[in-house]
């Protein structure tokens, strides 16, 4: 599960960056919001939700969850373990919430610029939250 979660994370990050850049370009260049843009947003939403499910499955099997259950005070005192046991899961869930809100809000917008702006803001916040709490030492 850990390997699947780790490799899928690369896909999520690449697609999310692509979606945010696409939305910023669409907004700044006042492009028409096409089916391609809709599919980029939807695919980003789906891939990120799959990552959430994989991550939750891995989390409840992980040694960090067991450590948190057995000795929460020790986990909270260790910066590295706290990142994996508490900060990473919470921030990733929040990131997925922002991505989901962005998807829902864009559907209510009529103007193309508003759709791109909604994706840029909410998917962008999700991207920043993800980048802020990726355990970088485990990635390389």
pLDDT score recorded for residue 140: 62
Global confidence as pTM: 0.91
Domain ranges for the chain: 2-139
- Phi, psi (degrees; rounded to nearest 5) at 134: -70, 135
pLDDT, averaged per 10 consecutive residues of the chain (140 residues), comes to: 88 97 97 97 98 94 89 88 91 98 96 97 98 81
Per-residue pLDDT tens over the stretch 12-38:
999 999 999 999 999 999 999 999 999
Question: What distance, in Å, lies between the first and last C-alpha atoms of the chain?
Answer: 18
Q: Quick check: 128 and 90 in contact, CB under 8 A? A: no
Alpha-carbon span 68 to 18, nearest angstrom: 35
114: left (phi over 0), alpha (psi -120 to 50) or beta: alpha
> Distance between CA 4 and CA 52 in Å, rounded?
12
Q: Are 23 and 30 in contact (CB under 8 A)?
A: no
């Amino acid at each position: 599960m850990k390997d699947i979660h780790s490799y899928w994370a690369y896909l999520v990050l690449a697609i999310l960056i692509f979606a945010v850049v696409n939305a910023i370009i669409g907004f700044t260049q006042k492009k028409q919001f096409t089916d391609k843009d809709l599919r980029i947003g939807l695919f980003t939403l789906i891939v990120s939700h799959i990552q959430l499910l994989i991550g939750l499955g891995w989390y409840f099997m992980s040694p960090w969850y067991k450590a948190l259950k057995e000795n929460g005070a020790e986990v909270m005192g260790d910066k590295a373990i706290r990142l994996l046991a508490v900060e990473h899961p919470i921030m990733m869930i929040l990131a997925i919430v922002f991505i989901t809100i962005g998807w829902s809000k864009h559907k209510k917008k009529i103007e193309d610029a508003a759709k791109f702006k909604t994706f840029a803001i909410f998917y962008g916040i999700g991207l920043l939250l993800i980048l802020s709490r990726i355990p970088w030492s485990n990635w390389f």
